[in-house]
Amino acid sequence: MAENLAMPKSWNVETKPHKFCPGCGHGLVLKVLGEVIDELGIQDRMVFGVDIGCSLLAWDFFNVDTVQTHHGRTNPVMVGIKRANPDLLPIAYMGDGGGYAIGSQHLVNSAFRNEKIMAIVVNNVNYGMTGGQMSPTTLPGQKTETSPYGRDPEETGNPTLGPEMVAAIASPGAYVARATVSNMKQLKRYMKKAVENLIAGNGFSFLEVISSCPTNWRTNAKQTWAFMEEDMAKYFKTGELRTPDESKEG
């Protein structure tokens, strides 16, 4: 778990405790992001964009200028900000539905154009806020409200491999990695490198984070952890897929 138990300075204490469910991975991702904001001193230059879905609960999470947008549209809003004022550091924050379904064309084209923004996709293999429907990353056989007999890849395809897709189309200077909330040290390293790449303006920075949704998975703490570390880990390999200097970890 988190090494540092103190709240990051960039967190907005007035909105804590936050509104995410017990056991939800969002809090861990935002903890790490907060630490990186503090360590790199970007609170005054960063613009945080949050999608619709559970990610919108982060709309007042930080003492950072934040815009909550529409479902799937956080990437283009952040792109618009960066293009208009390149001094700012926009970070788009979304779930697997926003990133890989409704907003996939924006993700793909932001990567193609090597937009100098950062995008974080928190992957919990379902649509959490709308009540646990199948998402692009739902595992084969996984039961959700819209795949009540388990996801059948013959009918609905296989789980989207976001970082692999982005890495395949990214340009030199891009940073692409997958981390998991079950390995906080690695998550912190990748988060920091992604934000550093954003600051350097090398290219598109993309981080997927494997995360948990016990409320919709209907799992207890032990089952939640087992699902992430065993079932999800089979499909979603952590590691760096693209780095600006092409030295990869993982």
- Which residues sit at the interface with other proteins, rule CB under 8 A? 10, 12, 43-45, 47, 52, 56, 59-60, 62-70, 73, 76-85, 87-88, 90, 105-106, 108-109
Burial of 233 (0-12, 13-18, 19+ CB in 10 A): middle
Residue from 128, 132, 146, 180 nearest 19 by CA: 128
Instruction: Name the residue nearer to other proteins (CB basis): 60 or 196.
Output: 60
Instruction: Name the residue nearer to other proteins (CB basis): 5 or 84.
Output: 84
User: Minimum distance from CB of 36 to other proteins (Å)?
Assistant: 16
Q: Are 153 and 147 in contact (CB under 8 A)?
A: no
- Alpha-carbon distance of 169 to 129, in angstroms, equals 30
Instruction: Name the residue nearer to other proteins (CB basis): 104 or 186.
Output: 104
Instruction: Name the residue nearer to other proteins (CB basis): 74 or 123.
Output: 74
User: Minimum distance from CB of 86 to other proteins (Å)?
Assistant: 9
Which residue has 């940073």 as its token pair? 175
User: Minimum distance from CB of 185 to other proteins (Å)?
Assistant: 27
User: Minimum distance from CB of 18 to other proteins (Å)?
Assistant: 14
Sign of the torsion angle spanned by Cα atoms 200, 202, 204, 205:
negative
Q: How many residues does the chain have?
A: 250
